[in-house]
Chain A
């Protein structure tokens, strides 16, 4: 059996958590887009930005440590 590349499982698990978290934030925001008070939408968008910025920064070594 071929040997997997190092950290394949850890990277997969980290990214799976990222995707779930962003989608959850989007799902939280979506039903409230027409509310008079958009504070929950704003918070969800900030959460998405923080999570996605971390992926864009690409510090893979920290994610799989």
Chain B
């Protein structure tokens, strides 16, 4: 296990595998941060149920763009240009969950409840990681990400509590995003995941992080009076 803590000035001296994995994780994290606003700004910002919610959507998009900015800056500092992901269409995203568009309010709420929660799990991976600038940046991003999750969780619960057609709509949305969320953790037998852990660029295995996520989110789904989807149906990565 790699024990050192690295600053930007030390990057040149690092093992090529370390630099490659750091570059990769910053690129994918950048893509995920900007991928969120690309899902909902076009349709949800103009159509949110109230003007107050429109402001929430705009602020959330700004915070995610700021998270992108921080990741892109760190990537740029080590010589990795991630600006291409700003030009990408949704169908080009690295992570499959972002290759779609959100057009309904319940999908926006459930996205915050389930997918932003995965985003928080991913940020947690970098706490006390070997690359100190990433550790410091994540600590500034997590409180905002927690706010997005809280909003999505409360709103999804409130919509489900209306019962009837609304509960069915939220259940359908949970069915869709739950599977996408589980896939976001990647393959349980990923060799690269082990190398990330060796270099202390991540803390948990994909399988462990996914299990912890399910342990957190499943009771919340049940508390909303909804059914936990089959965790294996429609999965791309096991």
Contact A11 B76 (CB under 8 A): yes
Please encode chain A, from 24 to 65, with 1 for each CB lying within 8 Å of some chain B CB and 0 for all others: 011001100100001001101100110011011011100010
In the complex, what residues of A have CB within 8 A of residue B79's CB? 2-5
A15 in contact with B66 given A56-B38, A56-B42, A60-B86 (CB within 8 Å):
yes
Q: Are B83 and A56 in contact (CB under 8 A)?
A: no
B76-117 residues at the A interface, CB under 8 angstroms: 76-81, 83, 86-88
Q: A12-B72, A22-B58, A33-B52 are in contact. Are A4 and B77 (CB under 8 A)?
A: yes
Residues 57-83 of B contacting A (Cβ, < 8 Å): 58-59, 61-63, 65-66, 68-69, 72-73, 75-81, 83
Q: Is A26 a contact partner of B59 (Cβ separation < 8 A)? A: yes
Bound form: Cα–Cα A42–B54 in Å: 10
State whether A33 touches B61 (Cβ < 8 A).
no
Interface residues contributed by chain B, number (CB under 8 Å)? 36
A61 to chain B, nearest CB (A): 9
Q: What count of chain A residues pass the 8 Å CB interface test?
A: 36
| Contact residues of A: prevailing secondary structure | helix
Query: Which A residues are CB-close (under 8 A) to B69?
Result: 11-12, 15-16, 19
For B59, list chain A residues within 8 Å (CB). 22-23, 26
Q: How far is the CA of A12 from the CA of B41 in the complex (A)?
A: 21
Q: How far does the Cβ of A53 sit from chain B's closest Cβ, in whole Å?
A: 7
B83 touches which of A22, A29, A49, A60 (Cβ 8 Å): A60
Binding site for B on A (CB under 8 A): 1-8, 11-12, 15-16, 18-19, 22-23, 25-26, 29-30, 33, 38, 41-42, 44-45, 48-49, 52-53, 55-56, 58-60, 64
Q: List 28 interface pairs A-B (beta carbons < 8 Å), by A numbering.
A: A2-B79, A4-B77, A5-B77, A5-B79, A6-B81, A7-B76, A11-B69, A11-B72, A15-B68, A15-B72, A16-B69, A19-B69, A22-B65, A23-B59, A26-B59, A29-B55, A30-B55, A45-B54, A48-B45, A49-B45, A49-B58, A52-B45, A52-B61, A52-B65, A58-B87, A60-B86, A60-B87, A64-B83
Chain B interface residues toward A at CB < 8 A: 8-9, 11-12, 37-38, 41-42, 45-46, 51-52, 54-55, 58-59, 61-63, 65-66, 68-69, 72-73, 75-81, 83, 86-88
